[in-house]
Chain A
Amino acid sequence: MSASPVVAISDDAELARAARQGNRVAFGRLYDRYRRMVHGILLARVPPWEVDDLVQDVFLSALRQLGNLRDDGAFGGWLAMIARNRAHDYHRRAHEWTELPENLPAAERPSSEAIAALDAIRSLPAAYRETLILRLVEGMTGDEIAARTGMTAASVRVNLHRGMKQLRQILESEAHA
């Protein structure tokens, strides 16, 4: 019986390599670092109350498929693809819970304004909605979004600004409706 090795790795690629070799502490670090990204990608595609459990599904799936990861440096993009595929699978299957349960305690229930804002973002093109959710909901910076998803900083910037421009137009038109 030996304690798990202490991981003092800061580089994501090194963490991915260690995790692929069976180091669960490294996988835990990756979970901490990428949880918000996975959560945001799913939130862009599935009902909010399904997201937390699907996040776990995505990481479980990633853990089981780590051996297939060819480039440890591409872990973020690879994980993002698993999350998008998981959201796609979600929509292909029948689900018992498709709407927010009624009569939830106030603390559990998003406001109608919050739901409307999320719906407005989710009506945007996929690239914009995903990037905006990572920024506005998950609180990631543009640099973080680029580093985690594998997108270039320039692409993230374009998605943020164009997406925000479209979002303002939608919210403005809804306000006048």
Chain B
Amino acid sequence: MRNDYLWDGSGAPDPEVQQLEHLLSVFRSRDRRPHTRTRWIAIAAALVMGVAAGWLVSRNAPESWQVSSARTGTGRLQVGETLETGVGGHATLEVGDAGMIEVEANSRLRLERARRNEQRMLLEHGLIHAFIWAPPRSFVVDTPLAVATDLGCFYTLEVGKDGAGLLHVTAGWVSFEHAGRESFIPAGAACQTRPGYGPGTPYREEAPAPLRQALQDFDFAHGGEPALDTILSTATRDDAFTLWHLLTRCDPAQEPRVYDRLAALVAPPAGVTRDAILQGNRQMLDRWWDQLGLGDTGWWRDLERKWP
């Protein structure tokens, strides 16, 4: 079917259809943003006295999560209690109104907080799949080596018995943080932690194997210049967010090379200068991030973004 604008936008434009497309674009699906409803409600609560806010404070969420397991049936996990799934076990946790967690076999976790605005657990080891629809930053998973903070998404978090972690984001965003070092991980990307290092540099799941290996060497095995060479030579436009993170965590002597490669992949916007970026100018780093195609920093700021 060609030359049929209504069918596929080809052929002579139909002005009426075009006008409708333009008008209705405000309703279009947008990815990689935190949940809209919660944001709208927060705004409404602030501006429309009492209505939504009253609802929010009048509901008392129980300080526990519902647990469903084929082995033990349904019960509640209280704050301070530990859940172990064991060999072949599996459990589903309902995190109040915040979302749901699937807990795989051989996992051990402890519920730390179960408040309406803060749901928090410690994953000592094992594997969970989290599906969170609560406002960003209201669901947090502590691991032995890092803290995973949900920014509105589906994600999988695996922690080994040595504390090493692997976080994979299916949809939305997750922040992975330890000792002031924070990684922002978008959908389709992953991030590892290792004892003694904290979160590594996030990367695309589908990044070339040499790039992923080089990042691992750089982050956790003192890979130095050889690893950085591989990272910079194999990174593509889709890996720009990886290089953006590297800018703030490599040695100062390496920053110019990272800057140049990132600039070759995604030109910095007008007014963002090399000198300012190399001096760690946060505002300019922010503006460069906006060019990466991963959403603008407006909502990062809404989330009280911390900087790596």
Chain A residues in contact with chain B, CB under 8 A? 1, 3-4, 6-8, 24-25, 27-28, 31-32, 35-36, 39-40, 43, 48-53, 55-57, 59-60, 63, 96-97, 101-105, 108, 110-111, 113-114, 117-118, 133, 135-139, 141-143, 153, 157, 160-161, 164, 167-168
Pair A101/B100 contact, Cβ less than 8 Å? no
Give the CA-CA distance A57 to B171 in the complex, in Å. 13
Pair B170/A24 contact, Cβ less than 8 Å? yes
Identify B23's interface contact among A39, A111, A161, CB under 8 A: A111
Pair B36/A49 contact, Cβ less than 8 Å? yes
Task: Categorize the interface residue count of chain B.
Answer: 35 or more
A-B contact pairs, 23 of them (CB 8 A): A1-B158, A1-B160, A1-B164, A4-B168, A27-B170, A31-B154, A32-B187, A36-B29, A49-B40, A56-B133, A60-B100, A60-B131, A101-B44, A102-B48, A103-B44, A104-B40, A110-B26, A111-B26, A136-B17, A138-B28, A141-B9, A142-B7, A143-B1
Pair A118/B8 contact, Cβ less than 8 Å? no
Give the CA-CA distance A64 to B1 in the complex, in Å. 37
Q: Does B41 contact A (CB under 8 A)?
A: yes
- Say how far A62's CB is from chain B's closest CB, in angstroms: 11
Q: In the complex, what residues of B have CB within 8 A of residue A101's CB?
A: 40-41, 43-44, 47-48, 52
The 4 closest A-B pairs by CB, nearest first: A101-B44, A39-B29, A141-B8, A28-B170
Chain B residues in contact with chain A, CB under 8 A? 1, 4, 6-9, 16-17, 20-21, 23-29, 31, 33, 35-38, 40-41, 43-44, 47-48, 52, 55, 100, 129, 131, 133, 154, 156, 158, 160, 164, 166, 168-171, 187-188, 190, 192, 205-206, 209, 212
Q: Name the residue on B nearest A53 (C-beta).
A: B37
Q: In the complex, what residues of B have CB within 8 A of residue A60's CB?
A: 100, 131, 154
Q: In the complex, what residues of B have CB within 8 A of residue A105's CB?
A: 43
Pair B205/A4 contact, Cβ less than 8 Å? yes
Q: In the complex, what residues of B have CB within 8 A of residue A135's CB?
A: 6
Most buried by B among A27, A56, A153: A56
Q: In the complex, what residues of A have CB within 8 A of residue B25's CB?
A: 137, 139
Q: In the complex, what residues of B have CB within 8 A of residue A104's CB?
A: 40, 43-44, 47
Give the CA-CA distance A36 to B24 in the complex, in Å. 14
- Say how far A117's CB is from chain B's closest CB, in angstroms: 5
- Say how far B9's CB is from chain A's closest CB, in angstroms: 7
Most buried by A among B24, B48, B190: B24
With A1-B160, A49-B36 already in contact, the answer to whether A117 and B6 are too (CB < 8 A) is: no
- Say how far B6's CB is from chain A's closest CB, in angstroms: 5
Q: In the complex, what residues of A have CB within 8 A of residue B209's CB?
A: 6
Give the CA-CA distance A167 to B14 in the complex, in Å. 14
- Say how far A75's CB is from chain B's closest CB, in angstroms: 16
Give the CA-CA distance A40 to B28 in the complex, in Å. 8
Most buried by A among B9, B29, B154: B29
- Say how far B256's CB is from chain A's closest CB, in angstroms: 30
With A60-B100, A60-B131 already in contact, the answer to whether A139 and B21 are too (CB < 8 A) is: yes
Q: Name the residue on B nearest A26 (C-beta).
A: B170
